[in-house]
Amino acid sequence: MKKHVALPLVLAVGLSLGVAAPAHATGAAPAPAPADAPAAAAGEDAEPAPLRTVRVTTSAELAAAFKAALPGDRIVLADGEYTMVKLADKAGTAEHPVTVEPATLGGAVITGGQLEVARSSHVVVRGLTFRNGTTLKITASTHVRFTRNDVALRFEPPADPTSSRHWLQISGEGSGHHRIDHNAFHDKTLMGNYVTVYGGATQISQHDRIDHNWFGDSPAQPVNGGEAIRLGVSALSDSSSFAVVEHNLFENTDSDPEIVSIKSDDNTVRYNTVRRSAGAFVARRGDRNVIQGNYFLGEGKPGTGGVRLYGDDQLVYGNYFEGLAGSGYTAALQIDGGDVDGSGSTSAHWRVHRATVVHNTFVDNASSIEVGANYLYPPVDSLVADNLVVGAAGPLFVEHKQPAGVTYSGNVASPTGAATLGIDAAPREVRVVDPLLVRSGGLWRLRPGPAMNTAVGSYPFLVEDLDGQPRDVRPDVGADEVSGAPVTRRPLERDDVGPAAP
């Protein structure tokens, strides 16, 4: 029997009316030059001054500089084309990293060879343009930063169009603490991921951060395996990654129904913006993942989705979903069924247990909240509370299977036009009322009205709304808080991410 149980009214700690302010060949090793380096870009984490600067103008000089690199070296590539080589067994330090960068941002173009940073630590690869046809690799290393690069790889089409060609791959025993930031990954036309995070035999790479990147323009592929980001693989999905994926922009990333695929434990995916992308952020395998504060903006494009869940103890809160045209696998929110429960293949869809879905806002989606659309076992002991759902078509809530203990509480729904609520729910579970939204800053936001100060749950993690404004002691329903505090986050645009961003 369906369970629609309301939570008791308790004190707790959102989108506001405010808008955010807007060469020649030589085999000789290059001679060290004086230690002079360009200043870090505005807003970028400052790095220590180099101990020496090594300038190269040819591929041979680049290979020699890599071989002779010492902690504190800054290897500077003159504008031109290069064949890349492996950088291996280099022990930089936090105070003295090994840095590889061009003389001018984007001026050094990699047209051949392969970049692999292997068995190394504290290496920075910055500002290069990659137009070669081999996977970029970070292998058995720690504290590697790949930043402000423009990556549009040119693989030769394989004989089998379903075989994968990953673009940037993190793997190896002991891997961790990498940062992939302010890059542009774009124009992927073959199968494969833009960024793939693996690990060793039993443990995924840990404590990696993927932030402020642009992922764009990857058309649909014949089979799955074309994710923009994949955190893990089935064989490693019981290990904890502690990765953070934040402040990235995804545009027209259509090459897989899973734009971000999470296949490991204890990750956070937050503050990203997804525009016109046919897919969803999917907690595909692994437990205790957090999907927080993201903007999913479909603009009516077919197949655009939001979040899909499997596994245990997933947390989804503070997200904004608008104009998404997908359903089923790519519904705005799919708390899906599973094909195994408690044990089974690591590649299976594991039954949802104890999902928490609170304080999200859904506006004008083809399918807003679905439960159990696929597979055998419906979700168990999950909470759907204090969400705001508005739409003019279809049912706003869909239960494909009779859930086993899904609790609804404190939600506000406004079905207009031909839309219906879709489930039998008491007012304490889903209150049907016009929340009086107003268009501001490109989003539908709350104003004083029936959704203000009426949330019923108390969640220690809920301290700010979608805009970064603080929550009231008695918060508003949905992702937005009516507030006069400064707006610190907004949907990302191209100028906010990538190599030239602040």
pLDDT band at 365 (very low <50, low <70, confident <90, very high): very high
| Both structure tokens of 126 | 């910055």
pLDDT of residue 28: 34
Q: Six-digit token pair at 218?
A: 């990857």
Residue 2 has pLDDT above 50, yes or no: no
Amino acid, single-letter form, for residue 335? I
Q: How confident is the model at residue 34 (pLDDT cuts 50, 70, 90)?
A: very low
pTM of this structure: 0.90
pLDDT for 112 equals 97
Within its chain, how far is the Cα of 44 from the centroid?
20
What are the structure tokens assigned to 457, written together? 């749950």
Instruction: Give the N- to C-terminal CA distance of the chain in Å, as an integer.
Output: 54
Task: Please give the distance of CA 480 from its chain centroid, rounded to a whole number.
Answer: 21
How many other β-carbons are positioned within 10 Å of the β-carbon of residue 52? Answer: 14
DSSP state, residue 128: -
Q: Is the pLDDT of residue 5 over 60?
A: no
Cα-based angle 183, 187, 190 (whole degrees, multiple of 5): 120
- Average per-residue pLDDT in the chain? 91
Task: Evaluate whether 214 touches 183 at the Cβ level (below 8 Å).
Answer: yes
C-alpha angle 40/43/48, rounded to 5°?
35
Token pair listed for 365: 């989606």
Give me the percent of the chain exceeding a pLDDT of 70. Answer: 91
Given a cut of 50, is residue 270 above it in pLDDT? yes
Q: Residue 158: what are its φ and ψ, rounded to 5°?
A: -75, 160
353 has which bridge partners?
312, 380
Structure tokens at 455: 């949330």
Please report the DSSP string for 444-466 in residue order. Answer: EE--SSTTTT------TT--B-T
Question: For position 201, what pLDDT does the model report?
Answer: 94
Express each pLDDT in 192-208 by its tens digit.
Answer: 999 999 999 999 999 99
pLDDT at 3 over 60: no
93-446+487-496 maps to CATH 3.40.50.1980: no
* Distance separating alpha carbons of residues 40 and 47, to the nearest angstrom: 7
Inform me whether the pLDDT recorded for 384 exceeds 60. Answer: yes
Q: Which pLDDT score, from 0 to 100, does residue 162 have?
A: 85
Give the confidence band of 185 by pLDDT, cuts at 50, 70, 90: very high
Whether the Cβ atoms of residue 73 and residue 100 lie closer than 8 Å to each other:
no
Residue 45: which pLDDT band, with cuts at 50, 70 and 90?
Answer: low
Question: Stretch 222-243: mean pLDDT, rounded?
Answer: 93
pLDDT > 70? residue 39: no
Half-sphere exposure of 392 (CA within 13 A, CB side): 4
pLDDT at 22 (0 to 100): 29
State the Cα–Cα distance between residues 427 and 366, nearest whole angstrom: 24
Pairing mode, strands 397-399 and 369-371: parallel
Confidence of residue 246 (pLDDT cuts 50, 70, 90): very high
Give the model's pLDDT for residue 30: 35
Ranges of each domain in the chain:
93-446+487-496
Q: Are 191 and 163 in contact (CB under 8 A)?
A: yes
**19/479: higher pLDDT:** 479
Q: How confident is the model at residue 77 (pLDDT cuts 50, 70, 90)?
A: very high
Task: Please report where in the chains the tokens 């930043």 appear, as a residue.
Answer: 147
Tokens read off for 15? 């989108």
Q: Is 494 helix (H, G, I), strand (E, B) or coil?
A: helix
- The CA-based angle 370-373-374, given to 5 degrees, is 150
Neighbours of 177 (CB within 10 A): 17
Q: Which of 151-165, 178-192, 257-271, 303-317 has the lowest mean pLDDT?
A: 151-165
Q: Which residues contact 345 (CB under 8 A, 6 or more apart)?
A: 234
Kindly tell me the burial class for residue 199, based on how many C-beta atoms sit within 10 Å of its own C-beta (0-12, 13-18, 19 or more). buried
Q: Provide the pLDDT for residue 44.
A: 55
Lowest mean pLDDT among 29-43, 315-329, 480-494: 29-43
Burial of 463 (0-12, 13-18, 19+ CB in 10 A): exposed
3-state SS record for 361-411: EEECCCCCEEECCCCCECCECCEEECCEEEECCCECEEECCCCECCEEECE
| Residue 19, number of CB atoms within 10 A of its CB | 14
Decide if 215 contacts 248 (C-beta within 8 A).
yes
> Hey, what amino acid is at 132?
N
411: pLDDT strictly greater than 70: yes
| Dist CA 359 CA 446 (whole Å) | 13
Residue 6 has pLDDT above 70, yes or no: no
H or E stretch at 320: strand 320-322
